[in-house]
Amino acid sequence: MAVPPNIRDTLVDIRAYSDGRIYDAYKWLRANDPLGTVEAEGYDRFRVVTRHADVMEISRQNDLFTNGPQSILFTQAEIERNLQQSGGVTVKSLIQMDAPEHGIYRDMTAHWFRPANLKLLEDRVRELARRAVDRMAASGGRCDFVNEIALHYPLLVIMAILGLPEEDEPLMLQLTQGLFGAADPDDLVDGVPPPQERDRTALFTMMAYFNKLTEDRRANPTGDLASLIANAKVDGQPIDPLTTMGYYIIVATAGHDTTSSSTGGAMWALAENPAELAKLKADPKLIGPMIEEAIRWTSPVKHFMRTATQDTEVNGQAIAKGDWLMLCYASANRDEAMFADPDAFRIDRKPNRHVAFGNGGHLCLGQALARMEMKILFEELLPRLESVELDGDPKMSAATFVNGPIRLPIRYVMN
Ligand code: HEM
């Protein structure tokens, strides 16, 4: 049986992700239809997976539930429009790949993202964090934390690991936002973002930028991640240009909006919960757990899709070969069967087995980086932050895929 129309409509309404209605729909689904079937106009039929245990179970079985052929929820019209806008060029990244290809390409850079390697970048990241904190201090006690801090700092970190010059930040910001930036709910026309010319040009500009980077790093390799990608070989051959491009693009985009959203979410939650802020300031060892809680609470990646390769069963319910499944991480992370008082932001939540980074073979490659950069930012900020509160209404972006705060006005006292 299909899920009721009001729940179906909420699931595919990007405004529901902005005004929070999505959480009521998730709650209803967890309680009443945790693997419900959705038949929404314009979309292929899909199953919506809302319980923590089921998201974990499906994610860990990568042969039974593949990422191909379509790993993000789009309407058929959106798929066609995207293809048209890219002139028929399909850039493939890790997230669209399955075994055996996926393992080969993931192994290429996996060592780079391990904590031991990231440690070598810590000084540079700390320098960027200090600058962000100084900028906050210089703002005279008020700022829009998202637009002045949370949007820039993670991008500068990603650019540092790729080895891109800092002066390219405005261009990269324009390109990553043009390609993947989530919509402002106030800009929607009939519930959808207006078509943007810059979307069309962003992909080509980004491709030209990264092609030049590949040429440069092949001629003059350095120790950065771009050099590793540009000079990588599979079966003794350089990887093809579109896959090389897919790698740069996934690093530049997956590493940006996600971490911006969880960083903004952390500040939002602290500004709303002075008791939690006081606890944190009294015991800096809680910064790590606070970061985990902010990532759970914001769950910036709302879903990825999987396709069943065989008839099977999950949690006693039949799944048919070909079923397209929406893994709702943000629902799993508010599952009352897993988390006590799941809507509350508790910096010392223990245990905190959230699934915001996914699970199984596609588990977020950048999770250690995301944790490290958020931790360093708050390590630098908290000793200087005496108090913080909201200074107006925050605003969440409107998107079914990656979303988070796009405006966060705060008022604060810093030393
Ligand atoms: C994959 C979340 C930060 C790079 C993923 C997935 C999720 C996710 C849910 C899919 C996992 C799955 O299918 O099981 C997040 C969140 C972040 C974050 C919530 C921040 C709070 C980053 C950063 C990078 C990154 C900083 C750095 C480059 C990637 C890549 C993949 C991925 C390359 C694809 C992995 C694969 O398919 O094998 N991320 N991510 N992410 N993420 Fe992240």
| Ligand 1 interacting residues, C-beta cut-off 6 A | 59, 94-95, 106, 250-251, 254-255, 258-259, 262, 295, 300-301, 304, 329, 356-360, 362-366, 369-370
Task: Please determine, for residue 227, whether its predicted confidence score (pLDDT) is greater than 80.
Answer: yes
CB-based contacts of 365: which residues, under 8 Å, 6+ apart? 94, 106, 109, 110, 113, 254
Q: Separation of 365 CA from ligand 1 center, angstroms?
A: 5
Distances from the Cα of 328 to the Cα of 50, 230, 308, 335, angstroms: 5, 34, 16, 11
As a dihedral over the C-alpha atoms of residue 264, residue 400, residue 327, residue 42, rounded to 10 degrees, the angle is 180
CB-CB contact of 23 with 334 (8 Å): yes
Q: Separation of 364 CA from ligand 1 center, angstroms?
A: 3
Q: Give residue 200's pLDDT.
A: 65
Q: Tell which one of 364, 375, 400 to mutate to probe ligand 1, the residue whose CB is within 8 A of the most ligand atoms.
A: 364
Angle between helices 367-381 and 122-138 (to 10 degrees): 40
Residue with CA closest to ligand 1 atom 17: 258
Residue 250 Cα: closest atom of ligand 1: 33
Under DSSP, is residue 1 helix (H, G, I), strand (E, B) or coil?
coil
Q: Separation of 114 CA from ligand 1 center, angstroms?
A: 13
Q: Give residue 110's pLDDT.
A: 96
- In whole angstroms, give the CA distance from residue 74 to residue 158: 27
Q: Give residue 84's pLDDT.
A: 74
CB-based contacts of 204: which residues, under 8 Å, 6+ apart? none
Q: Tell which one of 113, 258, 331 to mutate to probe ligand 1, the residue whose CB is within 8 A of the most ligand atoms.
A: 258
Task: Please determine, for residue 85, whether its predicted confidence score (pLDDT) is greater than 80.
Answer: no
Which residues are 313's β-sheet partners? 318
Q: Give residue 298's pLDDT.
A: 98
Distances from the Cα of 362 to the Cα of 81, 241, 299, 355, angstroms: 27, 22, 16, 12
Residue 356 Cα: closest atom of ligand 1: 19
**Among 3.40.50.2000, 1.10.630.10, 1.10.1200.10, 2.40.50.70, what is the CATH number of 5-414?**
1.10.630.10
- In whole angstroms, give the CA distance from residue 256 to residue 68: 23
Residue 343 in tokens: 């809507």
Count how many Cα atoms sit within 13 Å of the Cα of residue 48 in the half-sphere of its side chain.
Answer: 34
Under DSSP, is residue 405 helix (H, G, I), strand (E, B) or coil?
strand
Who wins on pLDDT, 239 or 77?
Answer: 239
Average pLDDT value for residue range 280-287? 96
CA atoms 282, 284, 285, 287: torsion sign: positive
Nearest Cα to Cα of residue 182 among 323, 29, 311, 15:
15
Residue with CA closest to ligand 1 atom 26: 255
Chain mean pLDDT for the chain: 94
CB-CB contact of 319 with 311 (8 Å): yes
Whether the link from the prior residue into 274 is cis, omega within 30° of 0, is no
Q: Separation of 357 CA from ligand 1 center, angstroms?
A: 6
Q: What is the pLDDT of residues 129-174, one digit of tens each?
A: 999 999 999 999 999 999 999 999 999 999 999 999 999 999 999 8
Residue with CA closest to ligand 1 atom 42: 364
DSSP state of 240: P
Which residues are 120's β-sheet partners? none
CB-CB contact of 388 with 270 (8 Å): yes
Q: What is the pLDDT of residues 339-380, one digit of tens each?
A: 999 999 999 999 999 999 999 999 999 999 999 999 999 999
Q: Separation of 245 CA from ligand 1 center, angstroms?
A: 17
Average pLDDT value for residue range 93-111? 95
- In whole angstroms, give the CA distance from residue 232 to residue 339: 42
Task: Report how far apart the first and last C-alpha atoms of the chain are (Å, whole number).
Answer: 59
User: Lowest mean pLDDT: which of 176-180, 312-316, 370-374, 381-385?
Assistant: 176-180
Q: Separation of 13 CA from ligand 1 center, angstroms?
A: 24
Q: Separation of 166 CA from ligand 1 center, angstroms?
A: 23
* Location of structure tokens 């800009």: 187
